[in-house]
Amino acid sequence: MQNELFQSTDQTPCLNFWMPSNWPVAAGWNELVAEFLSSETGRILAHSVKNRIDTGAVIYPAAPFKALELTPLDQVRVVILGQDPYHGAGQAHGLAFSVPTGVKIPPSLRNIFKEIAQETGDFAIAKRIDGCLESWAKQGVLLLNTCLTVESGQPASHAKLGWEVLTDAIIRKVAASNRNVVFLLWGAHAQAKQKILQDHASVTGEHLVLCANHPSPLSAMRPPAPFLGCQHFALANQFLRERGLDEINW
């Protein structure tokens, strides 16, 4: 039954029903998510998405809360912020920048792999063909898009429906509840979330915030903070290592 709920007619996974009860979340997120869904903003969002589904819109991903399912709150060590899910068929699966195994790697993710390869000296990473980042999520990397749904072929189509009220609350929760977290903010949209971290100055002194351009080919090499060469993955692991925490196997 659950697979039927998440399949479009061409077998590309998509969101065919608004049914948050079918989107499990890991420990620490339940209360926050439930509070949002029962709020006026959450109800308006639900109505908007249901209406778009009823009118035939194809919406991705099938499981909007996947990042919260794979990464419990108390295990978050790194936060990587995306904007909205990939809008191509078969690409989005609920994790920022990630695509399911077997799907062609998008240009931004390819640049992420190139940067990791340059930092680690493992140049095979730059040529990897599997773009699924679930292994990162299971190590404590919260791969969070600030908008959690999108319509096929229409980037940012759900950007103003209310998702950012929830995702801002998630960022706030991590900043207030977790210690020694690395925030990787790539591009102006992600960097705008620094205000949330600054509002929690009592705890953010224990966090590391790293900023660079978005890894998109359009901006990855632009000054003043090019993504390629940013050393963010090495710096994140150095920060964790110095505090006695396990490094991320990128």
Q: What is the DSSP code string of 152-184?
A: TTBTTTTTTSSHHHHHHHHHHHHHHH-SS-EEE
| Residue 56 to residue 138: CA distance in whole angstroms | 34
* Exposure class string for 208-237: b at 16+ Cβ within 10 A, else e: bbbbbbbbeeebbeeeeeebbebebbbebb
Share of the chain above pLDDT 70, in %: 93
- Considering the domain delimited by 2-242, tell me its CATH architecture: 3-Layer(aba) Sandwich (3.40)
pLDDT for 94 equals 98
Residue 9 has pLDDT above 70, yes or no: no
Confidence class of residue 3 from pLDDT cuts 50, 70 and 90? very low
State how far the Cα of 144 lies from the Cα of 159, in Å rounded to an integer: 14
Please state the rounded mean pLDDT for residues 127-142. Answer: 98
pLDDT at 203: 52
**Residue 83: its H or E element:** none
Give the model's pLDDT for residue 50.
98
pLDDT of amino acid 6: 35
Stronger pLDDT, 36 or 179, i.e. the higher one:
36
List residues bridging with 81 in a β-sheet.
Answer: 144
Confidence of residue 11 (pLDDT cuts 50, 70, 90): low
Furthest C-alpha separation in the chain: 53
pLDDT of residue 81: 98
d(CA 123, CA 93): 26
Strand order in the sheet with 141-145: 141-145, 78-82, 182-186, 208-212
Nearest to 148 by CA among 12, 37, 231, 230: 37
Which stretches of the chain are assigned E, i.e. beta strand? Answer: 59-60, 78-82, 141-145, 150-151, 182-186, 208-212
For position 201, what pLDDT does the model report? Answer: 54
Structural domain boundaries of the chain? 2-242
Query: How many CA atoms within 13 Å lie on the side-chain side of 212?
Result: 23
Q: Per-residue confidence at 2, pLDDT binned at 50, 70, 90?
A: very low
Q: Which of 89, 108, 184, 95 is nearest to 134 (CA)?
A: 95
What does the pLDDT look like over 47-93, one tens digit per residue? 999 999 999 999 999 999 999 999 999 999 999 999 999 999 999 99
Res 4 pLDDT > 80: no
Give the single-character DSSP code of 7: B
Q: What are phi and psi of 191, to 5 degrees?
A: -70, -20
| Mean of the per-residue pLDDT values of the chain | 93
CB contact at 8 A, 230 and 114: no
- Residues annotated as catalytic (active site), given as ranges: 84
